[in-house]
Amino acid sequence: PQIILVHSQNRSYSKLNQDDVNHFKGILNKPEVAVIEDLEGTGSSSELSGYNTDWLNKLKGNSKLALRPSSTEEVSQILKYCNSRQLAVVPQGGNTGLVGGSVPLDDEIVLSLNRMNNIIGFDKNYSILKTQAGVVLEKLIEYLEQFGYMPPVDLGARGSCHIGGNLATNAGGIKLLKYNSLHANTIGLTAVLPDGTILDNMRALRKDNTGYHLKHLFIGSEGTLGVITEAAILCPKIPAAHNVALFALDNFDKVEEVLRASKDYLSENLTAIEFFDSESNNILKDHTKHRNPLGYSHNYYMVVEVSNFDNTSTAEENTKIIEDKFFGLFEKISTVIEDGVIAQDSSQREAIWNCRERIVEGFFKEGMTFKYDFSLPIDKFPVFLDKIRDKLGDHARTGGYGHIGDGNIHVNASIKGYDNLKLFKELQKELEPWVFSLVEDYEGSISAEHGIGSFKAPYFELNKSNKMVSVMKQIKGVLDPNGIMNPHKLFD
Ligand code: FAD
Ligand code: 2HG
Ligand code: ZN
């Protein structure tokens, strides 16, 4: 069983009452499914417990009410009322966030987007997808396939995360290297401000230079400025063919060499490049059913995905093009790698990707995990990992993996099991101020892609200049003067 860290804060928001609940029942379509409540706090609603608990099982909020609107108009009415009553609100997508941003810290109302799950359509002329925010990413992948397109973003949580959550966190993932960020690919957005104002920017024009691009304020704002309800997203073509290779290497200099060679030689055909170290590989073996075809004796592993975009080729020609690319790459790195394997079919492709993507699951099963998500100069990755390992000693198993092509390393360190909360907290006290200031010394970022949430909020200001924080707080003050949106997330 997982221990849940109960987070309780004293704040000056109004206390939810029966009149509030009745009001929401009156304004929402299908109140029997749109309003989930346990005002008395009897714990009778197990459904509500899911809305209160984060993916990592580290946080357990105390919300008595989850609302599930079905339209932008309903979101507007909810927020308008909450704003006037000074009731705090946590927007929630698929609740897969890893930084304690998507659940209440106290008794905030959860505003879930999970009923706003309609795909609006796809414009093939301009390859723009229009969708409601609560659509699960995997559903968008499946929908776009019929047109030969795909979302520009993909990540391990694709089966649960919402596109709205992806936008609210500006999620990165495995495709960012090739297809760029959601900031770059979002053409239109509808967001609802805390006072109920609907900012509808869904005209979805590729070019529109009329004033400030307000949509960017909501992308990556982690639910602190308003609720994203719809989006229009530029989507790339599914490549005509693709394949994946796994390489094993004995030191980090060689990892860098393979990165450079892959970028140089494969150029636009390189669609993903990821790495993981031996401890991450061992964790995968110890806690999941996934097995590394290159074994467990190497120090580093890299996953390289190559795609071909030439639609005029036949399937055989496509396979040959990809093969040639890999053989060319092999020639360049044959003296650098210790071992390598190319997938022979789609199930082997999946198996190779699982070696990288299921590491998260492995650490989760090992025990309570310190999870860091840094951007760092690449030459600092190994020294940084070593320093964290030294600091934690035998108390934790520490691994490094991630999106090496983007300069983004995930450091996971798990203590055994979920029972020793005292040890976790002691280590955390030692580790965090030190580790976050080290990132600052290296001129990196304390969040490459997961966001700040509540876990990193105490350190956010360390990593940004005072002037930048001050402007951000001013923006927050203008859009959310009563501070009802996702309190204590982002800003401590
Ligand atoms: P939630 O977890 O529900 O919410 C995340 C934040 O966004 C919260 O602050 C919430 O308040 C806010 N929010 C959600 N929806 C809205 C909305 N409609 N309007 C306003 N605010 C909103 N992240 C990466 O960047 N890259 C990865 O490679 C990656 N891989 C992952 C793999 C696994 C197995 C898991 C569990 C997580 C991974 N994540 C990754 C983290 C997470 O999946 C992403 O941050 C994802 O974008 C969150 O989407 P969600 O719908 O689950 O949002
Ligand atoms: C990934 O890239 C995700 O697998 C999760 O961003 C990383 O859990 C983590 O630390
Ligand atoms: Zn990641």
pLDDT attached to residue 216: 97
Ligand 2 proximal residues by C-beta, below 6 Å: 98, 156, 357, 360, 371, 373, 402, 410, 412
Which class for 272: exposed (0-12), middle (13-18), buried (19 or more C-beta within 10 A)?
A: buried
Best residue among 54, 169, 175 to mutate for probing ligand 1, ranked by most atoms within 8 Å of CB = 169
Residue 410 Cα to ligand 2 middle (Å): 6
Q: Is the pLDDT of residue 11 over 80?
A: no
Second-level CATH architecture of 5-112: 2-Layer Sandwich (3.30)
Query: Length of the chain, please?
Result: 492
Give the closest residue to 322 by CA, choosing from 313, 302, 174: 313
Q: Is the pLDDT of residue 2 over 60?
A: no
Give the burial string for 420-444 (b: 16+ CB within 10 Å, else e): beeebeebeeebbeebbebbeebeb
Please say whether the structural domain 119-234 has been given the CATH code 3.30.465.10.
yes
DSSP per position, 279-333 = HHHHHHHHHSS---TT-S--SEEEEEEEEE--TTS-HHHHHHHHHHHHHHHHHHH
Q: CA 464 to CA 486: how far, in whole Å?
A: 20
What is the rounded average pLDDT of the residues 273-301? 98
Whose C-alpha lies nearest to ligand 2, atom 8?
Answer: 360
- Per-residue pLDDT of 76-107, as tens digits, reads 999 999 999 999 999 999 999 999 999 999 99
Give the closest residue to 323 by CA, choosing from 347, 339, 335, 307: 307
What is the rounded average pLDDT of the residues 152-158? 96
Number of other CB atoms surrounding residue 21 within 10 Å: 18
pLDDT attached to residue 65: 97
Q: Is the pLDDT of residue 30 over 70?
A: yes
Lowest mean pLDDT among 128-142, 290-304, 344-358, 452-466: 452-466
Q: What ligand is nearest to the CA atom of residue 104?
A: 1
Residue spans in the chain of domains classed CATH 3.30.70.2190: 241-357
Ligand 1 pocket, 227 CB below 6 A? yes
The model's confidence at residue 1, banded by pLDDT at 50, 70 and 90, is very low
Q: What ligand is nearest to the CA atom of residue 155?
A: 1
Q: Is the pLDDT of residue 276 over 80?
A: yes
- Per-residue pLDDT of 100-118, as tens digits, reads 999 999 999 999 999 999 9
Q: Is the pLDDT of residue 45 over 80?
A: no
pLDDT > 90: what percent of the chain? Answer: 92
The model's confidence at residue 42, banded by pLDDT at 50, 70 and 90, is confident
- Per-residue pLDDT of 230-254, as tens digits, reads 999 999 999 999 999 999 999 999 9
pLDDT attached to residue 426: 95
Q: CA 110 to CA 62: how far, in whole Å?
A: 10
The model's confidence at residue 458, banded by pLDDT at 50, 70 and 90, is very high
367-450 CATH fold: Alpha-Beta Plaits (3.30.70)
User: Mean pLDDT of all residues in the chain?
Assistant: 95
Find out whether 329 and 250 touch, Cβ atoms under 8 Å: no
What is the rounded average pLDDT of the residues 396-409? 98
Q: Is the pLDDT of residue 316 over 90?
A: no
Structural tokens at position 312:
């005029």
Residue spans in the chain of domains classed CATH 3.30.70.2740: 367-450
Residue 150 Cα to ligand 1 middle (Å): 19
Ligand 1 pocket, 97 CB below 6 A? yes
Partnered with residue 154 across adjacent β-strands are: 173
Q: What ligand is nearest to the CA atom of residue 406?
A: 3
Q: Is the pLDDT of residue 4 over 70?
A: no
pLDDT attached to residue 311: 82
More confident: 289 or 316: 289
Q: Quick one: which atom of ligand 2 is closest to the CA of 156?
A: 4
Angle at 444 between CA 422 and CA 183, to 5 degrees: 105
Q: Quick one: which atom of ligand 1 is closest to the CA of 54?
A: 2
Ligand 1 pocket, 155 CB below 6 A? yes
If residue 242 lies in a helix (H) or strand (E), which one and from where to where?
Answer: strand 241-249
Q: What ligand is nearest to the CA atom of residue 133?
A: 1
Residue spans in the chain of domains classed CATH 3.30.465.10: 119-234
Q: Quick one: which atom of ligand 2 is closest to the CA of 363?
A: 8
Whose C-alpha lies nearest to ligand 1, atom 10?
Answer: 102
CA-derived radius of gyration, the chain? 23
Which class for 6: exposed (0-12), middle (13-18), buried (19 or more C-beta within 10 A)?
A: exposed
pLDDT attached to residue 312: 85
Q: CA 73 to CA 78: how far, in whole Å?
A: 9
The model's confidence at residue 260, banded by pLDDT at 50, 70 and 90, is very high
DSSP per position, 384-432 = HHHHHHHHHGGG-EEEEEEEGGGTEEEEEEE-SBSS-HHHHHHHHHHHH
What is the rounded average pLDDT of the residues 299-322? 92
pLDDT attached to residue 5: 59
Angle at 114 between CA 123 and CA 374, to 5 degrees: 85
Q: Is the pLDDT of residue 3 over 80?
A: no
Whose C-alpha lies nearest to ligand 2, atom 5?
Answer: 360
Residue 403 Cα to ligand 3 middle (Å): 6
Residue spans in the chain of domains classed CATH 3.30.43.10: 5-112
Best residue among 155, 277, 358 to mutate for probing ligand 2, ranked by most atoms within 8 Å of CB = 155
What is the rounded average pLDDT of the residues 398-404? 98
The model's confidence at residue 8, banded by pLDDT at 50, 70 and 90, is low
The model's confidence at residue 43, banded by pLDDT at 50, 70 and 90, is confident
More confident: 2 or 277: 277
Whose C-alpha lies nearest to ligand 1, atom 33?
Answer: 157
CATH of 241-357, one of 3.40.50.300, 3.40.50.460, 3.10.20.90, 3.30.70.2190: 3.30.70.2190
Ligand 1 pocket, 92 CB below 6 A? yes
pLDDT attached to residue 12: 83
pLDDT attached to residue 6: 59
pLDDT attached to residue 46: 82
pTM recorded for the entire structure: 0.96
Q: Is the pLDDT of residue 469 over 60?
A: yes
Ligand 1 pocket, 228 CB below 6 A? yes
Residue 361 Cα to ligand 2 middle (Å): 9
